[in-house]
């Protein structure tokens, strides 16, 4: 059972204000469960407010993080630092002590606080030696499991504070990880001890049972090492004496949501959207059974970063932009939870799509889905974000959806729209609508954006053994009409619009096999569009400007297709450079800069390497410049850009 934050605070206030309680309190919770956030943002403030004037023997509340501590003297110094902070708070005003900081030379601390200005005498300060006898305070020790001091020695020290200094102590820890920092030290030696045959880790305790002679697996070795060198047994004995109350802590995302937004989110638009969609965010966390405060903070900060870029887009009607805000938030939350739990939502590696419905898990045709954005995955995993690309993708998505909305009335009569939830219909109705849909496809009444959903629906029907369906014949007929439609259209519809995003490989394999004729048509049209940059080499004048404009128009195509200079003929490039003006060379260079504009080129353009090398090898600057200074400078800049790009791709 997990208590509310308010109930925990009431319990701890009762503990620290009642002299009968002589043992420490342990707040136990998993990493990321929000323990430290609760302590720093709620508990300390509440303790100060509620015990002031109400507890005769409590004067101070001190907070000490044990993270990385290697010896007890460091803890004493930190307690002293905390004591100094409290001293200056009382002398100079609340919050002044925070300026002292930890790990700074004492003299520096005194200078920082301006003792002379406030007419304070050095003798007024608490003495370091007084720490050993300090009383009348509550000390909160955080990050117990991240301390390098022997856990039992540390607990003995804390027990001494409780028993002999009459301190009220609160310990904050993840008990399941206690002793781990020490466990991983000197592992080779520990492994050698465990592998000693005299220990016989696989030997059965039952004499009548045959012993397992097989070697230890890696997992068994790790588990047995932890067992042999664990401090759990002694820790439990010391803990039993020291700890009087253990509180199992689990953050309530709903209760902390608005406070976290107030603390970590800076821009008003971000705050407004996050408050507006609070129920959506909470529902995702609950559905995934995840309550990690750090995950929430991680996701919200990422959302603000992306929202600030998307909010710069001007688009009417505004409802489309508002919908994008919500979709991006949902995807960031889903993906953040997957990342923080060591899972991957979907791998975009083998896809050219930038957005689309991501189907979650096995059996994805009937499973959950979320609208995904490739740039979100890139940002959360690498912290790389191309603002212009993000805006371009969002604009493209909204324009497509606007077209759909505009034509929705005319399309409402299409048979597929009645088939979309076919499982609510009678079999006879489904059969009639399928026949009508095929007829409508032959009349080119469907925009290609329907094609993916139509085929998935047919796959659903087949998987449910829909008896009146002649699946193979219907699929083939549908794909034939779709192919004819794609061959005649000129609105920039690409293969990525037909891709299905799922990790269910059997489903993907079957879908791609059915759609292959359509992919082939679109790949051919796509290739022809990309190869237009070669047309610039056939122009007598302004070839550089044509090349540059092609790069600007098709940058996203080259990036998603993972090929750019792959489409260029190196011999023709050198031929054009030999007769080009300086301006044409710079235009050619600008086009290359436009496409090769980011640092992780190795993720996209490995296929360009051979052509880049051929151009560099043939780029004889002295010969091509023909003794003209400015042309030589332009060619040198071009060569440097090509060499730098090659190095990034090969990195």
CA distance 392 to 397: 9
- pLDDT given at position 242: 83
For residue 625, what are its two tokens?
């410049």
350 pLDDT above the threshold of 90: no
CA distance 160 to 521: 79
pLDDT-wise least confident of 286-300, 390-404, 483-497: 483-497
- pLDDT given at position 536: 75
Q: Which is higher by pLDDT, 229 or 626?
A: 626
For residue 407, what are its two tokens?
């034509």
pLDDT-wise least confident of 36-40, 149-153, 384-388, 447-451: 149-153
* 636 contact partners, CB below 8 Å, separation of at least 6: 621
pLDDT tens, residue by residue, 61-111: 888 888 888 888 888 888 877 777 766 666 655 554 444 444 444 444 444
151 near 26, Cβ under 8 Å? no
381: number of Cβ within 10 Å:
11
Q: How confident is the model at residue 295 (pLDDT cuts 50, 70, 90)?
A: very high
250 three-class SS:
coil
Q: How confident is the model at residue 56 (pLDDT cuts 50, 70, 90)?
A: low
Average pLDDT value for residue range 457-485: 90
In total, the chain counts a number of residues equal to 651
- The owner of tokens 């790790």 is 222
131 three-class SS:
helix
Interior angle at CA 621, CA 619 and CA 622, nearest 5: 135
Q: Which helix (H) or strand (E) holds 396?
A: helix 387-406
Q: How confident is the model at residue 212 (pLDDT cuts 50, 70, 90)?
A: low
Tally of CA atoms within 13 A in the half-sphere of 240 that contains its CB = 6
* 265 contact partners, CB below 8 Å, separation of at least 6: 271, 274, 300, 301, 304
Q: Which helix (H) or strand (E) holds 415?
A: helix 415-419
332 near 379, Cβ under 8 Å? no
pLDDT-wise least confident of 184-198, 301-315, 420-434, 488-502: 184-198
Q: Which is higher by pLDDT, 63 or 413?
A: 63
CA distance 145 to 455: 54
- pLDDT given at position 108: 45
One DSSP character per residue, 226-241 reads: HHHH--HHHHHHHHHH
62 near 140, Cβ under 8 Å? yes
pLDDT tens, residue by residue, 223-250: 666 665 555 445 666 677 788 888 888 8
- pLDDT given at position 323: 94
One DSSP character per residue, 457-503 reads: HHHHHHHTT-TT--HHHHHHHHHHHHHHHHHH--S---GGGG--EES
563 pLDDT above the threshold of 50: yes
600 pLDDT above the threshold of 60: yes
91 near 120, Cβ under 8 Å? yes
CA distance 530 to 547: 11
512 three-class SS:
helix
359 near 501, Cβ under 8 Å? yes
CA distance 195 to 192: 5
pLDDT-wise least confident of 111-115, 472-476, 529-533, 557-561: 111-115
Q: How confident is the model at residue 168 (pLDDT cuts 50, 70, 90)?
A: confident
For the chain, what is the mean pLDDT? 81
- pLDDT given at position 620: 92
561 pLDDT above the threshold of 60: yes
Strands 168-173, 243-248: parallel, antiparallel or unpaired by DSSP? unpaired
pLDDT tens, residue by residue, 106-155: 444 444 444 444 454 555 544 444 555 566 688 899 988 888 888 778 88
21 three-class SS:
coil
What phi and psi, each to the nearest 5 degrees, are found at residue 568?
-95, 140
Supply the Cα-derived Rg of the chain in whole angstroms. 34
* 528 contact partners, CB below 8 Å, separation of at least 6: none
CA distance 419 to 437: 9
- pLDDT given at position 528: 77
Average pLDDT value for residue range 410-435: 88
Q: How confident is the model at residue 328 (pLDDT cuts 50, 70, 90)?
A: very high
- pLDDT given at position 245: 85
pLDDT-wise least confident of 131-145, 350-364, 415-429, 489-503: 350-364
- Which of 109, 140, 141 lies closest to 122 in space, CA to CA? 109
- pLDDT given at position 208: 52
């Amino acid at each position: 059972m997990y208590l509310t934050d308010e109930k925990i605070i009431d319990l701890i206030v009762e503990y620290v204000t009642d002299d009968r309680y002589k043992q420490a309190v342990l707040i136990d919770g998993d990493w990321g469960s929000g323990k430290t956030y609760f302590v720093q943002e709620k508990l300390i403030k509440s303790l100060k407010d509620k015990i002031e004037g109400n507890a005769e023997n409590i004067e101070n509340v001190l907070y000490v993080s044990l993270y990385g501590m290697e010896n007890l003297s460091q803890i004493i110094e930190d307690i002293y630092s905390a004591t100094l902070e409290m001293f200056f708070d009382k002398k100079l005003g609340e919050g002044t002590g925070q300026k002292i900081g930890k790990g700074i030379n004492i003299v520096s601390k005194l200078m920082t606080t301006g003792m002379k200005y406030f007419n304070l005498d050095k003798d007024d300060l608490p003495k370091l030696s007084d720490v050993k006898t300090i009383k009348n305070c509550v000390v909160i020790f955080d990050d117990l499991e991240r301390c390098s001091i022997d856990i039992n020695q540390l607990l003995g020290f804390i027990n001494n504070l409780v028993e002999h200094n009459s301190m009220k102590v609160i310990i904050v820890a993840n008990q399941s990880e206690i002793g781990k920092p020490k466990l991983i030290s000197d592992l080779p030696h520990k492994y050698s001890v465990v592998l000693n045959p005299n220990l016989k880790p696989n030997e059965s305790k039952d004499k009548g049972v045959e012993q397992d002679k097989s070697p230890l697996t890696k997992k068994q070795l790790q588990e047995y090492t932890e067992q042999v060198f664990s401090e759990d047994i002694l820790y439990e004995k010391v803990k039993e004496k020291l700890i009087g109350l253990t509180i199992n802590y689990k953050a309530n995302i709903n209760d902390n949501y608005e406070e976290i937004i107030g603390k970590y989110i800076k821009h008003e638009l971000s705050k407004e959207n996050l408050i507006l969609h609070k129920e959506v965010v909470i529902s995702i966390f609950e559905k995934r059974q995840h309550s990690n405060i750090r995950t929430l903070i991680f996701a919200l900060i990422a959302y603000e970063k992306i929202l600030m870029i998307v909010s710069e887009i001007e688009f009417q009607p505004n409802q489309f932009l508002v919908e994008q805000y919500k979709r991006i938030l949902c995807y960031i939350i889903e993906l953040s939870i997957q990342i923080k739990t060591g899972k991957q939502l979907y791998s975009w590696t083998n896809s050219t799509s930038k957005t689309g419905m991501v189907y979650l898990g096995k059996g994805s045709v009937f499973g959950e889905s979320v609208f995904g954005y490739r740039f979100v995955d890139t940002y959360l995993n690498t912290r790389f974000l191309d603002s212009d690309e993000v805006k371009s993708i969002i604009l493209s998505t909204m324009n497509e959806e606007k077209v759909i909305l505009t034509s929705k009335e005319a399309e409402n009569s299409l048979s597929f729209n009645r088939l979309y939830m076919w499982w609510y219909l009678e079999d006879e109705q489904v059969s009639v609508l399928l026949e009508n849909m095929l007829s409508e496809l032959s009349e080119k009444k469907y925009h290609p954006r329907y094609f993916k959903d139509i085929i998935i629906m047919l796959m659903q029907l087949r998987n449910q053994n829909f008896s009146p369906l002649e699946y193979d014949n219907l699929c083939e007929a549908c794909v034939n009409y779709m192919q004819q439609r794609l061959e005649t259209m000129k609105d920039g519809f690409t293969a990525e619009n037909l891709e299905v995003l799922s990790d269910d490989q059997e489903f993907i394999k079957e879908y791609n096999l059915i759609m292959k004729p359509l992919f082939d048509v679109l790949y051919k049209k796509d290739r022809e569009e990309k190869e237009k940059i070669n047309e610039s080499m056939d122009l007598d004048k302004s070839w550089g400007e044509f090349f540059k404009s092609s790069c600007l128009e098709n940058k996203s195509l080259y990036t998603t297709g993972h090929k750019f200079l792959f489409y260029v003929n190196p011999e023709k490039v050198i031929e054009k450079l030999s007769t080009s003006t300086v301006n044409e060379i710079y235009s050619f260079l600008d086009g290359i800069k436009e496409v090769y504009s980011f640092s992780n080129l190795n993720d996209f353009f490995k296929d360009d390497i051979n052509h880049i090398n051929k151009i560099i090898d043939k780029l004889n600057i002295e010969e091509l410049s023909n003794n003209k200074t400015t042309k030589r400078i332009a060619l040198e800049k071009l060569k440097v850009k090509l060499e730098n790009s090659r190095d990034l791709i090969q990195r």
